[in-house]
Amino acid sequence: MQKPTLPKGTRDFGPVQMTRRNFIFDTIKSTFQQFGFLPLETPAMENLSVLMGKYGEEGDQLLFKILNNGLYEAKNKEAVKGAFEKSLQQAYTSDLVTERGLRYDLTVPFARYVVMNRNEIVFPFKRYQIQPVWRADRPQKGRYREFYQCDADVVGTNSLLCEAEIVCMMNEILGKLGIADFTIKVNHRKVLSALAEVIGAPGQEGPLCVAIDKLDKIGRTGVEKELSERGFSAEAIRKLEPVFNINGSFTENTAQLQTLFAQSATGQQGLAELSEVVSLVEAFGVQNSHLQFDVTLARGLSYYTGAIFEVKVNNVQIGSISGGGRYDNLTGSFGLPGVSGVGFSFGVDRIYDVMEELQLFPQWNATTTRVMLIGFDAAAQRYALPILRQLRQAGINSELYPDSAKLKKQLDYANSKGIPYVVLIGSNEMETGKLALKNMTTGEQQALSVTEIIKIVAG
């Protein structure tokens, strides 16, 4: 006999947690629908050829790969053995050993779906998707190996209205969840490219961002040190001066960068797009958009080409709870170029953790049962069955304690489940047809007909 355990980084969700999670899911789902998004689900596993190379080198390493079934009876045993050993030594993938993996996010499977169904889809296509994803990360606070993402994406339009609507949805959803103090950080891939270009290190925005991103953690000197370690010249670092000093309003930041990007058409375009997004959000009439232009924001996912978003709840431990951006060529890598998309994703598990830390969950009762019937003996239990059916048909969630246990035990059960009403049925009740309805909160009890009980319990 052994104690069962859960795989690292995975969790069970009990009734209480599920009640809370469903509240989050329902809030997100209804908002997505309000904005015209349609549901989609894709398989847990995808072919590795679909997943590999979409998330950068780090991402590839975090993919959960699925071992081919039937390996033991492989025709070419020696070759399989060799490939298997090789795959253990390094991040190497052989079709002989594995050709499928668990999805890493919902955006890439979505792009795959769009390409495969391009002829049936009406563009612009707006879909939402709420499913688990898997990453072979090392678990820690707010980080799991299996977690749920709630994505909303639009493909087939370049309109910045989509970006603006994303900001609106973020505000809407977090507002409904009761999360008030948060920041929606935005940046633009073109701004990052222009930054690298302007300081004389074109194409180096990757390492540049990784370093700058740590500004608030390790300070300016730390960043400069790291940049120099990453091979940036002193000259290049000196040119970053304005970036370090950026810490104003959206328009102030834009103005500063405008000067820096005087010679960069790319940079100008990125700034123009961001300004347009902000202007559109304002046009929607959103009072406080929580938007903040953050030049150091660099979403790791390599497929973003336009605006990038990240939502951080302030004064909590957890990192970002949502992220997204525009990707111009994701479907291109599957053979359908020219379809631009924008999307974003909520991390439900992190939202849950944040809400728990901020104590935003009401004292919900996981049970939805309104009334429980108690029969004193087998005859009474039988007598209760048509009544139970009557209650349920009246739309009242009800149950009957299935064992003929002692009254005390049955009441105890109802009490610990938080069931508000109980109907007691014994010989007296069966004779008169008047049942004893007990209010579990007040303890009051009265003899009533089934019709009267339905009336009271339903209210």
Partner RNA sequence: GAGGUUGUAGCUCAGCUGGUUAGAGCGCCUGAUUGUGGUUCAGGAGGUCGCGGGUUCGAACCCCGUCUCCCUCCCCA
Beta bridge partners of 439: 421
How far from chain centre, in Å, is Cα 143?
12
Burial 231-243 (b: 16+ CB within 10 A, else e): ebeeebbebbeeb
Residue 133 vs 280, nearer CB to RNA? 133
Strands 341-347 and 371-375: unpaired
Q: Smallest distance from the beta carbon of 400 to RNA, in angstroms? A: 16
SS3 (DSSP) at 312: strand
Tokens, residue 213: 């991103």
Using CA atoms, how far residue 303 sits from 106, 189, 332, in Å, is 13, 10, 11
CA-to-CA distance for 241 and 409, rounded, in angstroms? 73
Tokens, residue 295: 């030049």
Tokens, residue 440: 């579990």
Instruction: Return the number of other C-beta atoms located less than 10 Å from residue 426's C-beta.
Output: 17
Q: Smallest distance from the beta carbon of 76 to RNA, in angstroms? A: 28
Q: Smallest distance from the beta carbon of 283 to RNA, in angstroms? A: 27
Q: Smallest distance from the beta carbon of 362 to RNA, in angstroms? A: 20
Residue 260 vs 437, nearer CB to RNA? 437
Residue 205 vs 429, nearer CB to RNA? 429
Residue 359 vs 416, nearer CB to RNA? 416
Q: Smallest distance from the beta carbon of 169 to RNA, in angstroms? A: 15
Q: Smallest distance from the beta carbon of 279 to RNA, in angstroms? A: 26
Residue 138 vs 238, nearer CB to RNA? 138
Residues that bind RNA (CB under 7 A): 2-3, 5-6, 8-9, 56, 58, 105, 135, 137-144, 147, 149, 210, 213-214, 217, 298-301, 310, 317, 319-323, 345-347, 349-350, 376, 406-409, 411-412, 415-416, 424, 426-429, 436, 438, 440-443, 445
Q: Smallest distance from the beta carbon of 301 to RNA, in angstroms? A: 5
Q: Smallest distance from the beta carbon of 34 to RNA, in angstroms? A: 22
Residue 110 vs 261, nearer CB to RNA? 110
Scanning the structure block, which residue is given the tokens 């120099």? 228
Contacts for 6 with CB less than 8 Å, ≥ 6 apart: 12
Beta bridge partners of 445: 438
Q: Smallest distance from the beta carbon of 251 to RNA, in angstroms? A: 27
Are 392 and 457 spatial neighbours (Cβ–Cβ below 8 Å)? no
Are 271 and 307 spatial neighbours (Cβ–Cβ below 8 Å)? no
Tokens, residue 141: 């606070």
CA-to-CA distance for 459 and 451, rounded, in angstroms? 13
Scanning the structure block, which residue is given the tokens 């998707």? 129
Residue 275 vs 292, nearer CB to RNA? 292
Q: Identify the H or E element spanning 435.
A: strand 435-439
Tokens, residue 77: 């045993």
Q: Which amino acid is at 438?
A: K
Distance spanning both ends of the chain, measured CA to CA: 50
Residue 270 vs 347, nearer CB to RNA? 347
